[in-house]
C-alpha cells in the first residue's frame, strides 16, 4: 500500500513536468519565424486552407469535448449506483450516431468543396516550370529564359502558374505558407496556381517520400515586390562576365578539365550537362544541396570536395581535386552571379 502511494506521488510529480515540457516546446514553436507554416498564410489560397483548418479544428474539437463529457457522465453514474445502468433510448443512438455525424460530415464536405473551388486567383500569371529530380528541383522560367534550381522567385500580388513535372519518381511540391500540396507525377504535368500577398522567404519541402534524401529535397520561395522581381529577372537574364581574377579564371578551366561540365550547364560556356542543376547563377543562390546548407564559401568547398559526405546517395561523385584546383573551382562558381 505504501509503495503504491509512493509510486503515485512520483507520477503526480512527473506529469506536471511533462506538461510544462510540452508547453515549452509549443511556445518555442510559436517563436519561430513561421517560414514553413500552413497556419501563417502568406497568400489567398493558403488563407482559405487555413480558414478551413480552423473551422475543422473548432467543429471536431467540439465533438471531442462533448463525447468526452458524455463518457465522464456515464462513468460517474455507473460508479454511484450499484444497479446495472439503464440502456439509452433508441432516439439517442439515431440522433447521436447517424443524424449528427451525417450533418457534421456533409457540412465539412461542403466547406471543403467551397475552399477548393475558390483556390484559383484571377489575373495574368507568371509561368514557372518545376521539375522534380532525386533530390532537387529544376526551376525554369520559359518566358524569361531563366533556369535555376531549388528556389523560386515570384512577384507579390500576381498569380504564379506552376507546371509541375518529374524526371524520375513521384515528388510533391508543398509551400505551406502559400498553398496546399501538389504531386509531380511521371508522364503528366500538374498545375498549381499560387500567389503571395506579402514579400518574404517561404520554405518548401518535397511532401512525397521519394528515396533516401527525401527529407533534404527542400526549396525556398522568395516573394519579391514587383520592381524587385523585375530586377531579379533582368540580372538572371545576363550571363556572368568572364572571370578576370586569376584564381576564378583557373577555376573556369578546372570546371571543364575535371568534368563538371558533363553534368552541369553554365549558359554560354562549354557546359551543357543535364544531370545536375544548372549552375549559370549558382553564386547568387541562397542554398546548396536543395536547402541543405546556406550557400557560402565554406559550405560550397565542402560540397564540391565530397558531396556524398553531406548528402549520401545524391548523383554527384567525390571530386578528388587538388587543394588549389578545389579553391579555384569554388572561386569560379562564386563568380557566377
Ligand atoms: Cu522528392 Cu520526396
3-state secondary structure of 194: strand
* Ligand 1 within 6 A of CB of 158: no
Is the pLDDT score of 31 beyond 60? no
For residue 171, which atom of ligand 1 is closest to its CA?
1
Instruction: Give the model's confidence band at 123: pLDDT under 50 very low, under 70 low, under 90 confident, else very high.
Output: confident
Question: Are residues 111 and 55 in contact, defined by beta-carbon separation less than 8 angstroms?
Answer: yes
What is the pLDDT at residue 89?
A: 80
Is the pLDDT score of 32 beyond 80? no
137: how many CB neighbours lie within 10 A of its CB?
26
What is the pLDDT at residue 119?
A: 83
What does the longest C-alpha to C-alpha distance in the chain come to?
A: 95
Q: What is the pLDDT of residues 232-280, one digit of tens each?
A: 999 999 988 888 899 999 999 999 999 999 999 999 888 889 899 999 9
281 alpha carbon to ligand 1 midpoint, in Å? Answer: 24
Strand bridging mode 160-166 / 171-174: unpaired
Instruction: Give the model's confidence band at 92: pLDDT under 50 very low, under 70 low, under 90 confident, else very high.
Output: confident
What is the pLDDT at residue 84?
A: 66
For residue 207, which atom of ligand 1 is closest to its CA?
2
For residue 169, which atom of ligand 1 is closest to its CA?
1
**48 CB-near residues (< 8 Å, 6+ apart):** 115, 118, 119
Give mean pLDDT, residues 159-165: 97
DSSP string, 12-41: HHHHHHHHHHHHHHHHHHHTS--SS-TTS-
* Ligand 1 within 6 A of CB of 171: yes
Dihedrals phi, psi of 21, to nearest 5 degrees:
-60, -45
Give mean pLDDT, residues 150-173: 97
Of the candidate ranges 23-32, 35-44, 73-82, 281-290, the one whose mean pLDDT is the lowest: 23-32
- Count Cα atoms within 13 angstroms, Cβ side, for 276: 21
Is the pLDDT score of 124 beyond 90? no
182 alpha carbon to ligand 1 midpoint, in Å? Answer: 12
What is the pLDDT at residue 27?
A: 60
Amino acid at each position: 500500500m505504501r509503495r503504491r502511494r509512493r509510486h503515485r506521488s512520483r507520477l503526480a510529480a512527473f506529469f506536471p513536468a511533462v506538461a510544462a515540457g510540452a508547453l515549452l516546446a509549443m511556445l518555442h514553436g510559436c517563436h519561430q519565424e513561421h517560414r514553413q507554416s500552413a497556419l501563417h498564410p502568406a497568400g489567398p489560397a493558403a488563407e482559405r486552407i487555413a480558414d478551413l483548418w480552423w473551422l475543422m479544428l473548432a467543429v471536431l474539437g467540439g465533438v471531442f469535448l462533448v463525447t468526452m463529457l458524455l463518457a465522464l457522465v456515464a462513468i460517474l453514474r455507473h460508479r454511484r449506483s450499484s444497479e446495472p445502468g439503464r440502456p439509452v433510448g433508441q432516439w439517442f443512438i439515431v440522433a447521436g450516431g447517424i443524424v449528427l455525424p451525417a450533418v457534421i460530415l456533409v457540412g465539412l464536405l461542403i466547406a471543403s468543396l467551397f475552399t477548393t473551388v475558390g483556390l484559383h486567383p484571377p489575373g495574368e500569371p507568371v509561368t514557372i516550370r518545376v521539375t522534380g529530380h532525386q533530390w532537387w528541383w529544376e526551376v525554369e522560367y520559359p518566358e524569361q529564359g531563366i533556369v535555376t534550381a531549388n528556389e523560386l522567385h515570384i512577384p507579390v500580388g500576381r498569380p504564379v502558374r506552376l507546371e509541375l513535372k518529374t524526371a524520375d519518381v513521384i515528388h510533391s511540391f508543398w509551400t505551406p505558407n502559400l498553398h496546399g500540396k501538389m504531386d509531380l507525377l511521371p508522364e503528366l504535368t500538374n498545375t498549381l496556381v499560387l500567389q503571395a500577398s506579402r514579400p518574404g522567404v517561404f520554405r518548401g519541402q518535397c511532401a512525397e517520400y521519394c528515396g533516401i534524401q527525401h527529407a533534404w529535397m527542400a526549396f525556398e520561395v522568395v516573394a519579391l515586390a514587383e520592381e524587385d522581381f523585375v530586377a531579379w529577372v533582368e540580372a538572371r537574364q545576363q550571363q556572368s562576365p568572364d572571370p578576370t581574377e586569376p584564381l576564378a579564371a583557373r577555376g573556369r578551366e578546372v570546371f571543364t578539365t575535371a568534368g563538371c561540365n558533363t553534368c552541369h550547364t553554365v549558359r554560354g560556356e562549354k557546359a551543357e550537362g543535364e544531370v545536375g542543376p544548372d549552375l549559370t547563377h549558382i553564386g547568387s543562390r541562397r542554398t546548396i544541396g536543395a536547402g541543405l546548407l546556406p550557400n557560402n564559401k565554406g559550405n560550397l568547398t565542402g560540397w564540391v570536395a565530397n558531396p556524398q559526405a553531406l548528402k549520401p546517395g545524391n548523383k554527384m561523385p567525390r571530386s578528388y581535386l587538388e587543394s588549389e584546383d578545389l579553391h579555384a573551382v569554388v572561386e569560379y562558381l562564386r563568380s557566377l552571379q
